[in-house]
């Protein structure tokens, strides 16, 4: 993945639209839940649905902070660290379903506004993820897209990996497999039969074939790998997502 200014500044309206549509699906699902249902378990161990939803909202806050840094060159206030984020998730998870949905929707509206206000030359400004790795400001939008699509599955409301948009699956497989290849993940080749795409990762390991969403579900910990065709045992994917490869410093 390159970071050519023209390529990604011109693509920002498209990816912003993808993020907003993903968020609309996510918030519409939340709005169908009762207040009791948002207290029920998600598929993430130890987390209920309210915690997942609040995590998404607070993550968008973090992306807004990064975009503000990129646009102005100045931190808009203290950065929320991992411990404070965890406390915020716990504190906000008990709200009514309507309030949880409104929280996410409001943050997404601000994200769209921030993207629209970003000067084209600022999209390549490097910002730092909380984990310490750097990326251009435009990649923040892709991180938000991944957050919404992944955690929509985690809500356990009937939105499985098969419902992921093909555009999302294609981007996320490219991003994930580049990172896994850079980390020596022991898979020789991955083939997404429905996408007409393949990736060579390692000189050793199995060849793995299947639909794009099944492959991404397995790699992201949102699927067991059932339905994939392999010529030897599947390795266990590392914790997902990894920092993007080759990285930006």
For 144, the 3-state DSSP assignment is helix
Dihedral in degrees, nearest 10, Cα atoms 208, 216, 166, 206: -10
Could you tell me the maximum CA-CA distance found in the chain, to the nearest angstrom?
Answer: 52
**What value does the mean pLDDT take over residues 151-158?**
98
Q: How many CB atoms lie within 10 A of CB 81?
A: 10
Angle, helices 137-154 vs 97-117, to 10°: value is 160
One domain for residues 131 and 21? yes
227-242 mean pLDDT: 95
CATH number at residue 223: 3.30.1050.20
Query: What phi-psi label fits residue 245: left (phi over 0), alpha (psi between -120 and 50 degrees) or beta?
Result: beta
Domain that holds residue 108: 5-159
Looking at 159, 189, 212, the residue that finishes a domain is 159
Is 142 in contact with 175 (CB distance < 8 Å)? Answer: yes
pTM over 0.85: yes
CA dist 204 and 74 (Å) reads 46
Domain count, the chain: 2
Give residue 5's pLDDT. Answer: 39
Contact 195, 166 (CB under 8 A): yes
Taking CA atoms, 90 is separated from 42, 100, 131, 202, in Å, by 14, 13, 21, 41
Structure tokens, 49? 């649905």
pLDDT digits (tens, 9 = 90+) for 121-152: 999 999 999 999 999 999 999 999 999 999 99
Q: Using CA atoms, how far apart are residues 97 and 105, in angstroms rounded to an integer?
A: 12
Domain boundary among 159, 187, 212: 159
Q: Based on the domain organization, do 77 and 149 belong to the same domain?
A: yes
Answer yes or no: do 205 and 101 share one domain.
no
Residue 241 included in any domain: no
Give the CATH number, domain containing residue 112: 1.20.120.450
142 lies in the same domain as 176: no
Q: Which residue has the tokens 């970071």?
A: 3
What pLDDT, on a 0 to 100 scale, did the predictor assign at position 32? 97
State what percent of residues in the chain have pLDDT above 70.
96
pLDDT at 12: 84
Q: What are the counts of helices (DSSP H) followed by strands (DSSP E) for the chain?
A: 7, 6
Do residues 205 and 134 both lie within one domain?
A: no
Q: Are 130 and 20 in a shared domain? A: yes
DSSP codes joined into one string, 38-102: GGSB-SSTT-BHHHHHHHHHHHHHHHHHHHHHHHHSS--SPPP-HHHHHHHHHHHTTS-HHHHHH
What pLDDT, on a 0 to 100 scale, did the predictor assign at position 8? 58
Quote the tokens at residue 202: 């390692």
| Residue 152 shares a structural domain with residue 170 | no
| Contact predicate 112/12, CB 8 Å | no
Integer Cα distance of 137 and 124 in angstroms: 6
């Amino acid at each position: 993945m390159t970071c050519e200014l023209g390529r990604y500044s011109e693509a920002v309206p498209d990816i912003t639209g993808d993020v907003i549509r993903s968020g609309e699906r996510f918030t519409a699902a939340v709005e169908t839940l009762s207040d009791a249902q948002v207290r029920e378990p998600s598929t993430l161990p130890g987390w209920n649905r309210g915690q997942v939803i609040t995590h998404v909202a607070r993550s968008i806050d973090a992306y807004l902070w990064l975009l503000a840094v990129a646009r102005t060159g100045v931190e808009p206030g203290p950065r929320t660290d991992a411990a404070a984020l965890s406390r915020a998730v716990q504190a906000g998870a008990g709200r009514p379903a309507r309030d949880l949905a409104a929280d996410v929707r409001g943050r997404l509206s601000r994200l769209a506004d921030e993207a629209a206000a970003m000067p084209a030359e600022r999209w390549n400004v490097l910002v730092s993820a909380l984990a310490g790795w750097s990326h251009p400001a435009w990649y923040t939008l892709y991180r938000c897209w991944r957050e919404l699509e992944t955690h929509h599955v985690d809500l356990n409301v009937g939105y499985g990996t098969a419902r992921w948009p093909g555009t999302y699956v294609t981007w996320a497989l490219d991003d994930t497999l580049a990172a896994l290849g850079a980390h020596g993940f022991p898979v020789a080749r991955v083939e997404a039969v429905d996408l007409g795409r393949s990736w060579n990762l390692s000189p050793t390991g199995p060849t793995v074939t299947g639909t794009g969403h099944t492959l991404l579900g397995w790699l992201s910990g949102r699927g067991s790998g059932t339905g994939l065709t392999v010529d030897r045992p599947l390795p266990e994917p590392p914790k997902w997502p990894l920092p993007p490869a080759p990285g930006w410093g």
